[in-house]
Amino acid sequence: MSGSPLGPGPVVDLPGPWCTEPYLLGELGAGVVLGGFASDDALAVVVEQRGRDRGLVGLGAPAALAPLAAAVGHEPGLMVGVRFATLTRGAWDLLGCDDRAALGLADGASHWDWFWTDAPLVGTDRSRAERLPLTPGTTAAVAECLGRAHPTASTPPDDERLLGWWGARHDGRLVAVAGAVTLGPGLSPHVVSLGVDPDHRGRGLAGAVLAATVSDCLAVRPEVGEPMVSLGMYADNEPARRVYLRHGFRLRHEFASRRPVA
């Protein structure tokens, strides 16, 4: 292993280049590192943040990350209480059987990608969308729209972390929506629950709603890092990937997340 051990401390006090890593600042910038290992090319740390489960996070190329993740597993007590592990895809495949056993994680994984932008989106007209007031009426209208547009959305319309909802209408009815939350106190906005009614797809509404969401969210000044907006998507959602990349989001990380063995 070619990494240095890390003791407890704030995520924002990690050594470079990790103290400026957009994913860490946007998702875990209010958190505390409990321990781990870092090199110039990879990072594997156990992190705890209010409102989120304790987790192992691993960044960097798979070949550089795998030995650091293995070292976390063999560090006495460090994986106690860990409820998830998110590692760069491919790192798990490079771990030996003993290392996997030490980490105590299930083989089955959820594959997802993390995108971000620090600039307004391009190639779409945000004027086709509007910011919705955070009222009971909006909650009901968003729930009704998501029932058609994105039934499996994981963020409820009245989520306490919400910064806002944005939407586009047809004949007065919401046909496309997106929300934004913060994943921790003082962090930058994270887009959630983008959905377009199947009867209204292919008309640029996803881009319009995204553009409006990003434009307003870039005005938020986070306590951690510079203004930016992030989102995550399942890796096999190619239509969403095309929308995000076409309008200016940048792919930053390709992840696989696992839970502990039951």
Return d(Cα 96, Cα 99) in angstroms, integer.
Answer: 5
Give the 3-state secondary structure of residue 78.
Answer: coil
Return d(Cα 21, Cα 59) in angstroms, integer.
Answer: 10
Return d(Cα 173, Cα 41) in angstroms, integer.
Answer: 49
The torsion defined by the Cα of 227, 15, 27 and 84, in degrees rounded to 10, comes to 170
**CATH assignment of 126-252, among 1.10.3720.10, 3.40.630.30, 3.90.320.10, 2.60.40.10:** 3.40.630.30
Task: Identify the H or E element spanning 127.
Answer: none
What pLDDT, on a 0 to 100 scale, did the predictor assign at position 58?
Answer: 99
User: How many other C-beta atoms can be found within 10 angstroms of the C-beta atom of residue 156?
Assistant: 15
Average pLDDT over every residue of 173-190 = 98
Per residue in 109-153, pLDDT tens? Answer: 999 999 999 999 999 999 999 999 999 999 999 999 999 999 999
Per residue in 241-254, pLDDT tens? Answer: 999 999 999 999 99
- Residue 69: pLDDT band (50, 70, 90) is very high
Per residue in 5-15, pLDDT tens? Answer: 999 999 999 99
- Residue 2: pLDDT band (50, 70, 90) is confident
Task: Report the predicted TM-score, pTM, of the whole model to 2 decimal places.
Answer: 0.96
What pLDDT, on a 0 to 100 scale, did the predictor assign at position 51?
Answer: 87
Return d(Cα 208, Cα 194) in angstroms, integer.
Answer: 11
Average pLDDT, the chain: 97
- The full set of domain ranges for the chain reads 4-105, 126-252
Burial environment of residue 123 by CB neighbours within 10 A (0 to 12, 13 to 18, 19 or more): exposed
How far from chain centre, in Å, is Cα 9? 22
